[in-house]
Amino acid sequence: MPANRFNAFTDYGIGIGLRVPHYRHILEKKPVVDWFEIISENFMVDGGRPLEVLDRILEQYRVVQHGVSMYFGSADPLDRTHLKKLKTLVRRTKTPWLSDHLCWGSVDGTYTHDLLPMPYTFAAARRTAEKIRQVRDYVEVPICVENVSSYAEYHVSEMTEWEFLTEVVERADCGILLDVNNIYVSSKNHDFNPYDYVNGVPHHRVGQIHVAGHTKFEKYILDTHDHPVLDPVWKLYAHAIRLCGVTATLLEWDDKIPSFDEVHDEALKANQFIDGARAAGKSAASRAAVPAA
């Protein structure tokens, strides 16, 4: 199931986020990397160095766009200027799919620049799915929506987060960017079993997976992306790829960013779980091939 219509039938392997401190290393050393994920908004500009760097990266690497401010879940209508700039970038990068978050962050044109949690209601799911469809129809690439980490829940919620995610993606007929670190963080903050979450989403819609590090505080966990991936998150990742198949995987490391090699090595740890999932898949297949006595 690695290649599906939500990631444009690609098989992208393990990528890392393209970040400013690594530009020089990447451009000079040209390390072998399966793919880079870019933050779309950093390159939705009219000119200058960001686009020069991007074009040089595109000459050498496969790039997938990941957005942080489309805010599918905002009640506001879509921002046409934002959409136009996004489509211009999509044409430049030829990203096979596009991801952004299942969240909101703006209202009445005021932006919080945060990934705020949704109320898990049917009304919100309908509105969110409608906006995802609008974006997909406009930019003309498949869309995967990412579950966010959260620190608060609303009284008005009518379902679990994974039921809400399922409701949205089924209504929008879009993919899922399954962030297993976010699931883990939210499970600790809201006292649910992260495996129930992973088990509960439609696995055939998972087009990409995120892993990342987080920070534990006394009363909650914060999704800081400034550490290596912790063991419970890797275990959840292993579980996810057993269910979803080996899926394009990306390590996010956005703060206190170490050397390129350290980040890449951390990302490549995913291989041991991928190998395990592939072996499990093969042995299951060979068992299935043995005729019943």
Partner 1 sequence: MTRLPARQRSTRDLKSLQRLMTAALTRPLTSASRLQGRWTDGRPMRAVAASFIKPNDRLSSFERLEIYARCYWFRLLDCLYEDCPGLRAVLGEKKFARLAEAYLAKYPSRSFTLRNLPGRLEKFIREEPRLTAPHTALAIDVARFEWAQTVAFDGPSAPPLAPERLTTVNPARLRLGLQPHLSLLALDHPVDDFVIAVKKDGVLRADASNTPEAAPRAAKLRRVPLPKPGRVYVAVHRHDNRLYYKRLEPAAHRILCALGAGRTVTQSVGTVRGVAPEQIQAWFKSWTELGWLCARNGR
- What's the min distance (Å) between Cβ of 275 and partner 1? 30
Of residues 123 and 279, the one with the C-beta less far from partner 1: 123
N-to-C CA span, the chain: 30
Q: Are the beta carbons of 206 and 175 closer than 8 angstroms? A: yes
Of residues 125 and 274, the one with the C-beta less far from partner 1: 125
Max Cα distance, the chain (Å): 69
What distance in Å separates the CA atoms of residue 194 and residue 188, rounded to the nearest whole number?
8
- What's the min distance (Å) between Cβ of 136 and partner 1? 18
- What's the min distance (Å) between Cβ of 29 and partner 1? 18
Q: Are the beta carbons of 44 and 72 closer than 8 angstroms? A: no
Of residues 25 and 242, the one with the C-beta less far from partner 1: 25
- What's the min distance (Å) between Cβ of 251 and partner 1? 13
Name the β-bridge partners of 36. Answer: 16, 63
The sign of the CA dihedral 283, 284, 287, 288 is negative
Two structure tokens written together for 86: 């996004």
Of residues 112 and 193, the one with the C-beta less far from partner 1: 112
- Helix 49-60 to helix 80-93 angle (10° resolution) is 40
- What's the min distance (Å) between Cβ of 165 and partner 1? 17
What distance in Å separates the CA atoms of residue 20 and residue 36, rounded to the nearest whole number?
13
Two structure tokens written together for 250: 């990306």
Two structure tokens written together for 290: 């043995």
Q: What are phi and psi of 59, to 5 degrees?
A: -65, -25
Secondary structure letter of residue 17 according to DSSP: E
- What's the min distance (Å) between Cβ of 54 and partner 1? 11
Of residues 188 and 269, the one with the C-beta less far from partner 1: 188
Q: Which helix (H) or strand (E) holds 147?
A: none
Of residues 9 and 122, the one with the C-beta less far from partner 1: 122
Of residues 5 and 85, the one with the C-beta less far from partner 1: 85
Q: Are the beta carbons of 182 and 210 closer than 8 angstroms? A: yes
- What's the min distance (Å) between Cβ of 25 and partner 1? 14
Q: For binding to partner 1 (CB under 8 A), which residues are involved?
A: 19-20, 23, 39, 41-42, 44-52, 68-69, 74-76, 79, 82, 101, 104, 106-116, 119, 121, 123-124, 127, 148, 151-156, 158, 189-191, 215, 219-220, 222-226, 252, 254-255
What distance in Å separates the CA atoms of residue 187 and residue 182, rounded to the nearest whole number?
8
Of residues 237 and 253, the one with the C-beta less far from partner 1: 253
Q: What is the DSSP string of 261-289?
A: HHHHHHHHTHHHHHHHHHHHHHHHHHHHH
- What's the min distance (Å) between Cβ of 89 and partner 1? 12
